[in-house]
Structure 1
Amino acid sequence: MALMEESTTQGLLQAHDEFWHLSLSYIKSIALAAALGLGIPDAIHHHGGGATLPEILAKTELHPCKLRALRRLMRVLTVTGTFSVVQQPPAGDDDSTVADASDEAVYRLTATSRFLVSDEVSSATLAPYMRLVLLPIIFSPVGEHICAWFRQEHHEPSVFALEFGQQAATVWEEGADANAILNEGLAAQSRFLVPDMLRECGEAVFRGIDSLVDVGGGHGGAATAIAAAFPHVKCSVLDLPHVVAGAPSDSNVQLVAGDMFQSIPPATAVFLKNVLHDWGDDECVEILKNCMQAISPRDAGGKVIVMDVVLGLGHDDKSNIKRLETQVMFDLFVMMGNNGVERDEQEWKKIFIEAGFKDYKIIPIAGTHSVIEVYP
């Protein structure tokens, strides 16, 4: 029976990955349109067929502040096979970070991307035809504005804001229909993902916790599942007043109206599910500092529990390439929507340290997500 149940769970998780991959596949076309619009294939070609990120940045005349965004775009384009990448060791023996070292990676044309080089003397170029094929993307608001966003000398507003004239967060807050769609969608995701997380590592993660605040927990879907699995844990949800006001009245967890950027109610632990990927590094550090103020000391069970994507974790196996594609495509999705970030381990470590935390532990769970325990 247990083996059958495990087999069924794995099948559902595989179907979930496939569902996410299919729903985000349009991001591949957006990334390809952006590469053409910014002249990335030509930039690599004019560097002899291989170029680093700074070289591509200079050749495409993008502002240096867009280096990280360019890295994220190129990650989609390499994972999905448009370009290849070879990691070069950084010069010298200094303590370069992984993010710095990735600037030394050399991006190369593949047989596929050679067709995208706009070389007028070459009969092999299919760049004009590809622009024709991608016309719906290129002429769409998002296709037009992603290139404009890359050429800005700043990060604000987001691609979404360039397209619609306001930030995504404003739409969620001020539009009743949009807010309902957001909270219903997040609740549906929690109903699927959280029980799996609890099966995989719930006993280890929630052992020793007396109380928990689910920050940005919407209508309480995740907190309700945690409270049902661990009745001894007093669970509450912190979210903005307009979110709490629309929550069902039959919730068995306490709903608290507030702002995580101001303060977080005290508890043994704080739970952050798919919250930090909506924010840039500075905002994440601010949120985590407020978490630090709210939680108990480590020897009393205090910690922050982050349920989010850790890019590339456990994806050395080529059979998991579709899962990695899903992660990097979603990274571009959150970048366009609200300048959010999906992070690799070193990027997570950086914001944890800046917020004053001493240690962390990553627990890979099936699917695209991981659980990170962050200790004061």
Structure 2
Amino acid sequence: MALKSAVELRIADIIHSHGVAITLSQIASCINGSLTSPDITTLARIMRLLVRRKIFTVHHPSDGGDPLYDLTHSSRWLLHDSEQTLAPMVLMENHPWLIAPWHYFSQCVKECGIAFKKAHGREIWDLASGNPEFNKLFNDGLACTSKVVTSAILSGYKQGLSSIESLVDVGAAPAYNGIFHVGGDMFHAIPNANAWVLHDWGDEDCIKILRNCRKAIPRENGKVIIVEVVVKAEGSGVFDDMGFIFDLLMIAHSSGGKERTEVEWKKILEEGGFSRYKIIDIPALPSIIEAYPDDQ
């Protein structure tokens, strides 16, 4: 909640706009939307925790002047106007609409069912389709993380991309030159091409999509490219904790999706018609899984 408040108050943007470390009073004077003077005491208490968590830094001048607050590598991800920002994701995941399903985990254990539906009476896609405000919040959150992951794919998977002659992204995308949009239902059929990006669904749905991909793949050099988390039970990497957190996030927000271990990916790949696969690490939370059809 402290992080959310910092994003809402645009504290990282305020410090960044000055170009140097600044005092709490300077930060407060730049906060927009206050009907009265900002409460600097409350701001100080919020910043104290965020400094301890290394979101911001604080410097105490030797002359006894007011403490000076500055950005860290982490807080630069909170800049709203940056090309790669996680601010919309922070606001989305900490919004009451998205927080509410987390309070239903114990009921899901006792009764089964979908946490999001228990909280809101309908699943996430149904709420998004009927609520423009929620739809924008959700899309903005996913779009910002997609930019970060796409950048990691381009830097960490150059060799894999260079060999692709045609690519089908199984999902929605904006219009660009050279891009053809084909309407339909990926659970029934997928257009012919050399590769696909598969998003996370429940096991049965994943197998259906993979089998349709298998039918559409050409006999030579066809493959499925899956950009997803591979959970490592004993992992100690920088992203490994987040894999477990995102798995719980899938309980909260999806209707059967989950983050999978390599063993779990192997199972659904084999049932989908892909007996061979290769996992490629990229500098991001997800990995790339290249899956090859049984007859290659």
Report the TM-score, using the length of structure 1 for normalisation.
Answer: 0.49
How far apart, CA to CA, are the structure 1 residues paired with 2:280 and 2:290? 8
Query: Is the 2:156–2:281 Cα contact (8 Å) retained in structure 1?
Result: no
Match status 1:353 vs 2:273:
no
Quote the residue 1:181 is aligned against: 137
Quote the residue 1:147 is aligned against: 106
Which residue of 161, 165, 171 corresponds with 1:206? 161
Q: Deviations over 1:253-293 (max 9, x none)?
A: 22222221121111111122xx12xx211111111111111
Gap regions ≥5 residues in structure 1: 1-10, 28-135, 220-246
Q: Deviations over 1:289-337 (max 9, x none)?
A: 111112112xx21000001110128x744xx3x5222111111011121
Query: Following superposition of structure 1 onto structure 2, how do residues 69-108 of structure 1 map, counting pairs within 5 Å?
Result: none
User: Is the alpha carbon distance of 1:196 and 1:160 closer, same or farther for their aligned partners in structure 2, counting shifts above 3 Å?
Assistant: same
Q: As a proportion of its length, which structure holds more helix?
A: 1
Query: Is the 1:13–1:366 Cα contact (8 Å) retained in structure 2?
Result: no
Q: How far is 1:172 from its partner?
A: 2.8
User: Is the alpha carbon distance of 1:287 and 1:13 closer, same or farther for their aligned partners in structure 2, counting shifts above 3 Å?
Assistant: farther
Quote the residue 2:66 is aligned against: none
How far apart, CA to CA, are the structure 2 residues paired with 1:363 and 1:250? 28
How far apart, CA to CA, are the structure 1 residues paired with 2:283 and 2:192? 31
Quote the residue 1:123 is aligned against: none
Match status 1:311 vs 2:206:
no
Q: Deviations over 1:102-129 (max 9, x none)?
A: xxxxxxxxxxxxxxxxxxxxxxxxxxxx
Quote the residue 1:281 is aligned against: 203
Which residue of 191, 194, 216 corresponds with 1:265? 191
Match status 1:329 vs 2:245:
yes
Give the partner amino acid of 1:305. I
Query: Is the 1:208–1:301 Cα contact (8 Å) retained in structure 2?
Result: no
Quote the residue 1:160 is aligned against: 116
Q: How far is 1:350 from its partner?
A: 0.6
Q: How far is 1:196 from its partner?
A: 2.0
How far apart, CA to CA, are the structure 1 residues paired with 2:183 and 2:192? 14
How far apart, CA to CA, are the structure 2 residues paired with 1:266 and 1:366? 30
Quote the residue 2:82 is aligned against: none
Quote the residue 1:301 is aligned against: 221
User: Is the alpha carbon distance of 1:329 and 1:267 closer, same or farther for their aligned partners in structure 2, counting shifts above 3 Å?
Assistant: same
Which residue of 362, 365, 368 corresponds with 2:285? 368
SS in structure 2 opposite 1:206? helix
How far apart, CA to CA, are the structure 2 residues paired with 1:295 and 1:13? 41
SS in structure 1 opposite 2:105? helix
Query: Is the 1:269–1:301 Cα contact (8 Å) retained in structure 2?
Result: no
How far apart, CA to CA, are the structure 1 residues paired with 2:100 and 2:163? 50
Query: Is the 2:208–2:272 Cα contact (8 Å) retained in structure 1?
Result: yes
Give the partner amino acid of 1:285. I
User: Is the alpha carbon distance of 1:188 and 1:316 closer, same or farther for their aligned partners in structure 2, counting shifts above 3 Å?
Assistant: closer
Gap regions ≥5 residues in structure 2: 1-71, 78-85
CA RMSD of aligned residues (A): 3.3
Query: Is the 1:215–1:271 Cα contact (8 Å) retained in structure 2?
Result: yes
How far apart, CA to CA, are the structure 2 residues paired with 1:327 and 1:352? 20
Query: Is the 1:268–1:296 Cα contact (8 Å) retained in structure 2?
Result: yes
User: Is the alpha carbon distance of 1:180 and 1:14 closer, same or farther for their aligned partners in structure 2, counting shifts above 3 Å?
Assistant: closer
Q: How far is 1:143 from its partner?
A: 5.3
Query: Is the 1:269–1:296 Cα contact (8 Å) retained in structure 2?
Result: no
Query: Is the 2:101–2:253 Cα contact (8 Å) retained in structure 1?
Result: no
How far apart, CA to CA, are the structure 2 residues paired with 1:282 and 1:293? 17
Q: Deviations over 1:119-167 (max 9, x none)?
A: xxxxxxxxxxxxxxxxx9xxx8535422111101x4x3x1010000001
Give the partner amino acid of 2:148. F
Query: Is the 1:270–1:304 Cα contact (8 Å) retained in structure 2?
Result: yes
How far apart, CA to CA, are the structure 2 residues paired with 1:210 and 1:365? 22
How far apart, CA to CA, are the structure 1 residues paired with 2:215 and 2:74? 36
User: Is the alpha carbon distance of 1:304 and 1:143 closer, same or farther for their aligned partners in structure 2, counting shifts above 3 Å?
Assistant: closer
User: Is the alpha carbon distance of 1:23 and 1:189 closer, same or farther for their aligned partners in structure 2, counting shifts above 3 Å?
Assistant: closer
How far apart, CA to CA, are the structure 1 residues paired with 2:74 and 2:157? 16
Give the partner amino acid of 1:145. Y
